[in-house]
Structure 1
Amino acid sequence: MNTAPAPMPPAYNSGDTAWLLASTAMVLLMTPGLAFFYGGMVRTKHVLMMIKMSFAALAFGTLLWWVIGYTLAFGPDVAGAGVIGNLDHVFMRGIELTTLTGAIPTYVYSTFQMGFAIITVALISGSIADRATMRGWLVFVVLWLLIVYIPLAHWVFDTDGWIVKHLGALDFAGGLPVELNSGVAGLAVALVLRAPRDFARREERPNNIPLVVIGVGLLWFGWFGFNSGSALSDQGTAAAAFINTQLGAAGAMVTWPLVEKWRTGRVTTMGVVSSAVAGMVAITPACGEINTLGAVITGLVVGAVCAFAITLKFRFNVDDTLDVVGVHGVGGLIGLIMVGLFATARISGKKGLFYGGGWGLLGKQLVAVVAVIAFSFILTWLIAKAVELTVGFRAKEEYDSVPGAEAERAYDFQTAERLGALVSGKPVTSDDELVKQISTLLRAREQEK
């Protein structure tokens, strides 16, 4: 016997719910997109490791959010301090099909925010590409989400969080808990895992640039849901965030290549796609707070600054392998400052410095930035150090592949391996050896001609 579903409360809005459902799917797609993005940027022997690190974040982040993440981030505030939620909704207890967050079912809103948590911790893997163990990464994901990300999500995304309620800083779609946080955490964990001895001399070349471009395309698509979905409605604010996201990316794609051309004499595909990511990073906290002119300026500024910022890792000998610090950390910082300069009172009623609001909002933005940097760096460093000292986090110096790599590879070179072995009479032991043997074969055939 079928039972009719309980009617939704009068506050329920089907249009807003449909938009957030679509936005949630787009945000969740960003993590597989990141897996492609990172997978294409590393050496061939580490492609699958990077993909597995992103998908591990997807699995463990989902379960942790269901068990305790949502209630700590969005449960009733403990003691009214805006620091952390309580345990009323462990295992989503007390959340029914008809329970609403605003005009949207809480199940949908919770899953939307879950996607933010997953992509944030997955981003950090780019700072330690090629030198982390999977065992250490899994432990780190759980501890970092619980200790670092979830409190920051409460500070910024929950209406009782101290940054939005007590401080009064603005962050439309996650510049503090997602972008700045992942960049700062990436720096901390990169310091713990240390740079390889040949870091400054080693030239890292992406193994598959088309895979990188596909990953950026998926990230770009998902970012519209990330930013516009944060409006929690299908009204004008979502539209403003949507176009500002595109403008921010486009602006950065102009200045980053110009800097690259000036510094190196050429424009690379990697530079072009990285600039798009930088532009979307910077516009994330500002997309619903500034107008289109502010979005373009934000993109132009962040493209130029991040093009320089990614080179600082060599000066300071910090192996931020895939430039998480230089793009997400620096880009997020710029976006948060731009809110203090270009906010137009469209959403919150607050104006930035350039729109007659004085220095007040900019000062609040800087206080929020300093608080998040200190909180994220100190706790991330302690977590990474604890993981390293217990289960082990940093791979051995001679680390050449991941456990189980002999069972599967990102690319099947079996036929080429046989050809190479025919030339040298030796078995192929690595991808580098394969390339050498194929080159030897080609030279031999040229000489025969």
Structure 2
Amino acid sequence: MTQPLLKSTGSGAARILSAPAVLAFATTTTASAADTPAASTINSGDTAWLLVSTALVLFMMIPGLALFYAGLVRAKNILSILMQCFALTAVLSLVWLACGYSLSFSDGGALFGGLGKAFLSGVSTTSTRSDCPTIPELLHFAYQMMFFLITPGLFIGAFAERMKFKAILIFSIVWSLLVYVPCCYGVWHKAGAFFGLSGVIDLAGGIVVHITAGVAALVACIMVGPRKGFPSAQFMPHNLPLTITGAGMLWVGWFGFNAGSQLAANGAAAMTLVVTHLSACAAAVTWMLIEWLRNGHPSALGIATGCIAGLAAITPASGKVGPIGAVCIGAISAWVCWLACAKLKNKFRYDDSLDVFGVHGVGGFVGTMLVAVFGSTSFAGGLGDFSIGSQLVTQGLASLYTILLSGVFSYAILKVLDLTIGLRVSPEEESQGLDLAEHGETAYND
């Protein structure tokens, strides 16, 4: 899912399928060359891998993220989280079809593409794109759609257990079009379109997915306000086995998220898969050791959270770093994210319910910056031919622009919603739980 500047499609081109040579039966022996079908560029291996990767990224949202978050909330709110994940999957897929894909991946203005591909206009089963010619454009549409829907899925954890369902839906749709689409368009589609920056490294969404969602999560949890009883009350996860299961599903799905973003079944995808796994391992072990040393025991929740931090951090860097760089990024991200979750949140008293900002926002930022260091050929195993100093400036500016874009638009959208339909359920509904108050159902019967 990289832009042409960052993605190498050479290996895919080297494996282009040969076309059927000529028309099976020529009507004359003097048939012109124009009667011969053009060679197809679609590669069956690349297509098969992207079909699997598309399914893996959807698997991250439902059931992976849904279960990960559902186990962390109280029992009276589990269905609300599951409902939000399923509803966003369905609604945002339709938005992607209607205009999201066209605005993100067709040529247009400075911040948005055009509407020439709205409702997949002009896209056929044989259409391809110049930046990924070995897969059908329909598959590119489907693969990118999964990123579009999972990004808002991340930030619902920040205001879990207290925000109105209809406000969540409207916020997610408008935010996706005003924040996600410009980032996607400028970073992945049109080189140099992201506020004039070129050469931004973000293979699979440290900027486009994790920083955007993390900043929106922070703004939203502050504007919606803390849960009743925060920070004195204990908000214990009601079902950690669900959370651990969801974390495992996310880990598996992340191979499609990152390695699939190479848009080809080649050595680059293999390296991306390896470094993704190693970063998650390093982060999980680091978080476990931090808790073990500080608290006297390692926790299941801690090791699960650590692996997600490592996965978020390696996401932008996974196309440029080698195994050693991945281990370094994983370990550093675990420590920094732990500080954000355990220290920063307590100091500033914002109720980021499921630590979306602390893990995804901070983790995405850490990886976005560290790719400039560990992704350079100056570092052992680095694959990027760039200067560390200049790339740090580029990555830093891209992160700053993303933070401002997501922060300003998140605040504006939420402010309008608060003044119209309201953001938060009533105190009585919050006490009752959103399962009953918003959806008229309960997950568990006595």
Q: Same fold by TM (over 0.5)?
A: yes
The equivalent position to 2:422 in structure 1, one of 381, 392, 411, is 392
Tell me the equivalent position of 2:53: 23
1:202 aligns with 2:197: no
Question: Contact 2:58 / 2:146 at 8 angstroms: preserved in 1?
Answer: yes
Q: What is the letter of the counterpart of residue 410 of structure 1?
A: A
List structure 1 segments (4+ residues) > 3 angstroms apart after TM superposition. Answer: 163-166, 344-349, 403-407
Identity of aligned residues (%): 39
Once residues 161 and 57 of structure 1 are traced to their aligned partners in structure 2, the CA distance between those partners, rounded to angstroms, is 30
Equivalent residue for 1:370, pick from 400, 408, 429 = 400
1:329 corresponds to:
361
Q: Give 1:162 shift.
A: 2.0
Q: Is the 8 A contact 1:291 1:344 kept in 2?
A: no
- Distance in 2, matches of 1:211 and 1:358, equals 41
TM-score w.r.t. structure 1 length? Answer: 0.85
User: Counterpart of 1:100 in structure 2: which amino acid?
Assistant: T
- Structure 1 contact 228–242 (Cα < 8 Å) conserved: yes
Deviation per CA, 1:174-196: give whole Å up to 9, x if none.
10010111111100111110113
Shift of 1:324: 0.2
Residues 104 and 8 of structure 1: CA distance in aligned 2, closer, same or farther (over 3 Å): farther
1:298–1:335 Cα contact (<8 Å) kept: yes
Find the counterpart in structure 1 of residue 115 from structure 2.
Answer: 87
Matching residue's letter, 1:401: G
Q: What's the offset of the Cα at 1:251?
A: 0.4
Determine the structure 2 residue equivalent to 1:265: 296
Q: How far apart are residue 9 of structure 1 and its match?
A: 5.2
Distance 1:348 1:75, change over 3 A: farther
Superposed CA offset, 1:96-125 (max 9, x none): 111112221111001111100111001110
Q: Which amino acid aligns with 1:186?
A: A
What is the CA distance between 1:338 and its match in structure 2? Answer: 1.0
Q: Identify the residue that residue 375 of structure 2 maps to in structure 1.
A: 343
| 1:62-141 matched pairs, under 5 angstroms | 62-78=93-109, 81=110, 83-101=111-129, 102-141=133-172
**TM alignment of 1:173-212, pairs within 5 A:** 173-196=204-227, 198-212=229-243
1:241 has 2:292 as partner: no
Is the CA contact (8 Å cut-off) linking 1:260 and 1:307 kept in structure 2?
no
* SS at 1:35 equivalent: helix
Query: Which secondary structure does the structure 2 equivalent of 1:319 belong to?
Result: coil
Letter in 1 for 2:296: G
What CA distance in whole angstroms lies between the structure 2 residues aligned with 1:39 and 1:358? 41
> What is the Cα deviation at residue 307 of structure 1?
1.2
Question: Are the aligned partners of 2:435 and 2:441 in contact in 1 as well (CA < 8 Å)?
Answer: no
Give 1:402 deviation, angstroms.
2.3
Kept in 2: contact 1:173–1:230 (CA 8 A): yes
What is the CA–CA distance in structure 1 between the aligned matches of 2:142 and 2:155, rounded to whole Å? 21
Q: Is 1:140–1:384's contact at 8 Å kept on the other side of the alignment? A: yes
**Could you tell me how far apart the structure 1 residues matched to 2:160 and 2:333 are?**
24
SS of alignment partner, residue 226 of structure 2: coil
Contact 1:126 1:320 in 2 (8 A): yes
Change (3 A) 1:30 1:110: same
Deviations 1:315-371 (A, max 9, x none): 1111100000000011001101111111145998533xxxxx241111111011101
Residues 140, 37 of structure 1: alpha-carbon distance in 2 compared, 3 angstrom cutoff: same
1:285 matched residue in structure 2: 316
Deviation track 1:114-154 (CA, whole Å, cap 9, x = no partner) reads 10011100111000001111111111121111111111111
Equivalent residues of 1:60, 1:141 under 8 A apart = no
Q: Is the 8 A contact 2:215 2:357 kept in 1?
A: yes
Deviation at 1:167, TM superposition (A): 2.4
For residues 8 and 260 of structure 1, do their structure 2 counterparts lie closer, same or farther at Cα, with a shift above 3 Å needed? farther
Paired residue for 1:303? 334
> Aligned equivalents of 1:137 and 1:161: distance in 2?
32
Partner of residue 255, structure 1: 286
Counterpart of 1:401 (choices 433, 441, 444) is: 433
Kindly provide the amino acid, as one letter, of the partner of residue 326 in structure 1: G
Unaligned runs of 5+ in 2: 1-36
Instruction: Look up the match of 1:4.
Output: none
1:266–1:275 Cα change, 3 Å: same
Please give the alpha-carbon distance, in whole angstroms, between the structure 2 residues aligned to 1:160 and 1:72: 15
Per the alignment, residue 162 of structure 1 pairs with 193
Say whether 1:39 aligns with 2:70.
yes
CA distance in 1, matches of 2:383, 2:103: 25
| 1:224 maps to 2:263 | no
- Write the distance in 1 (CA, Å) between the matches of 2:271 and 2:196: 23
Contact 1:72 1:86 survives alignment (8 Å): yes
- The structure 2 residue matched to 1:314, chosen from 340, 343, 346, is 346
